[in-house]
Amino acid sequence: MLLLSLLACLSKVTILPPPIFDTSGIEETIDWPKVGEETTQILQQYVQVDTTNPEGNETRGAQFLGQILEAEGISYEIHESSPNRGNLIARLPATGEPEQGPLCLLSHIDVVTAETEKWDEDPMSGVIKDGYLWGRGTLDMKGMGAMELMTMLLLKRQNIPLKRDVILLAVADEEVSGEGVRYVADTYWDYLQCEHVVNEGGLGLHDMMFEGQTVYPISVAEKGSVWLKMIASGEPGHGSTPRPNEAPKYLLEAIETLGARDLEPSLEGPLDQFVVNIGGQKGGLYGFVLRNPLLRNTVVKKQMLDNPITRAAIINTVHVTGFGGQNKPNVVPSEVYAILDCRIQPDVDPQEFIAYLESMVSEHIRFEVISASTGSSSPIDDPFFYALARQAVRGEENAVAGPVVSVGYTDSNYLRPLGAKAYGFVPVALTAEDMEGFHGHNEKLSVENIHIGTKKLFLAVLEVSAKKSP
């Protein structure tokens, strides 16, 4: 019986439908090495524009992008969400009456701080060494910003008839408060009306699951976040005499209870499809395991729970990230608290999740909500998703693309509730070592990735934006 159910069915890998626009004719007319070279130079200069957040000073970065657009006859506007926090909007209008809502190329201009003395090269240098362009923002996310800019320039230079507006949207302050995207969306949404968005979120990873295989997770959803202060109350007293009704003891018990909760891991949804796709590409015995629903729900689920990264993707996390209270050794305080950073699946309601936590802990515990936000998701069955997936793996035999839920959130989480279908995908492929540059030391992006990524992004955008000739 077990054998029968094992053999009964294999989940279907995503079969990409044929492209809605054949991009090959236009692709052939472009001098790609030259385009890659130009994008690399733009990124070098963009890295040199200091937009470290805090302060941000993104207006500088917006002006840098703006002057390149202007030189090619693409008009732009810069709107400041607060002094020096510039947000750029540039638009290539549809040729004739638009057939579809705009496609928006989104990036953030700000970068996180860098501990210069711990880097091998100056984080603001944009120097090229050993095939890499070095600098803060090359990965997060001026590299993508430069590729998006080049996509605009190519659409314009090639004089491509567009069936929809294509908008470049470079915003301030993603790294600290998300002020830029909120301001732009709240103030200019009538004007933007992005139907599709591409932004950061997913990217290609070499050798992550299997040696020699490159996986391209495309983020179609983001988890929500619930930040809580979990406060325990009890009887105050003297440190010399432990008693059973003290606040610190209640807090420890509550943490233990929450840690022992049923994790209810979910392999359903986007990530499940991605695992199936990897199985399809992998083939063999392990491919069979990955594609079999029963084995996926047992063997694979267990493996995913053992790895902190995949574990975070399949459960609602409850993460103690801080403590507070008075800290005199001989005094038992009447209140102490823990800070919890909880991340919930996109379909979980934050209030219901808080009620669930409350139901588990004792009456000596209360929660104060620091912030709570719902996650968001976009459809997988969508032409732009397919175009991104198609381009992700192009020219690579041992690569697979598929949908995932991001465990962190990006500016996309703000645009999805307004109606945008947003996909997180930077079309580069990184090694584990490259990944350490994200918010870390020695952030760098290979020149090869800049060349390939620019081409992939342009072709994906072209497929869903170009007007078919009559």
**CA distances (Å), 145 to each of 8, 71, 89, 189, 215, in order?**
47, 18, 13, 21, 22
Nearest residue to 116 (alpha-carbon basis) of 141, 136, 137, 142:
136
In whole angstroms, how close is the CB of 443 to Zn ion at the nearest point?
Answer: 11
Considering the complex, state which of residue 141 and residue 152 has its C-beta at the smaller distance from Zn ion: 141
Considering the complex, state which of residue 104 and residue 459 has its C-beta at the smaller distance from Zn ion: 104
What's the rounded Cα separation, in Å, for the pair 390 and 218?
A: 11
Considering the complex, state which of residue 111 and residue 124 has its C-beta at the smaller distance from Zn ion: 111
Structure tokens at 191: 């004007």
Considering the complex, state which of residue 88 and residue 141 has its C-beta at the smaller distance from Zn ion: 141
How many chain residues touch Zn ion (CB under 5 A)? 3
Q: Which residue is at the shortest CB distance from Zn ion?
A: 140
Residues 334-353 that bind Zn ion (CB under 5 A): none
In whole angstroms, how close is the CB of 463 to Zn ion at the nearest point?
Answer: 25
Please compute, for residue 212, the number of CA atoms within 13 A of its CA located in the half-sphere on the CB side.
Answer: 4
In whole angstroms, how close is the CB of 137 to Zn ion at the nearest point?
Answer: 9
C-alpha 435, offset from chain centre: 14
Considering the complex, state which of residue 173 and residue 246 has its C-beta at the smaller distance from Zn ion: 173
Residues 285-344 that bind Zn ion (CB under 5 A): none
Residues 384-423 that bind Zn ion (CB under 5 A): none
Residue with token string 């100056």 = 122
Query: What string of DSSP letters covers 303-363?
Result: HHHHSHHHHHHHS-EEEEEEEEE---TTEE-SEEEEEEEEEE-TTS-HHHHHHHHHHHS-T
End-to-end Cα separation, the chain, in angstroms: 57
Residues 124-153 that bind Zn ion (CB under 5 A): 140-141
In whole angstroms, how close is the CB of 111 to Zn ion at the nearest point?
Answer: 8
In whole angstroms, how close is the CB of 141 to Zn ion at the nearest point?
Answer: 5
**What are 426's strand-pairing partners?**
203
What's the rounded Cα separation, in Å, for the pair 234 and 244?
A: 9
Considering the complex, state which of residue 165 and residue 200 has its C-beta at the smaller distance from Zn ion: 200
What's the rounded Cα separation, in Å, for the pair 330 and 240?
A: 7
Considering the complex, state which of residue 287 and residue 408 has its C-beta at the smaller distance from Zn ion: 408
Contact call for residues 185 and 192 (beta carbons, < 8 A): yes
In whole angstroms, how close is the CB of 187 to Zn ion at the nearest point?
Answer: 22
In whole angstroms, how close is the CB of 179 to Zn ion at the nearest point?
Answer: 14
In whole angstroms, how close is the CB of 314 to Zn ion at the nearest point?
Answer: 23
Using DSSP's 3-state secondary structure scheme, residue 106 falls into: strand
Considering the complex, state which of residue 119 and residue 409 has its C-beta at the smaller distance from Zn ion: 409
What's the rounded Cα separation, in Å, for the pair 444 and 447?
A: 9
Residues 152-211 that bind Zn ion (CB under 5 A): 200
Q: Does 109 bind Zn ion (CB under 5 A)?
A: no
Q: Binding residues for Zn ion, per CB under 5 A?
A: 140-141, 200
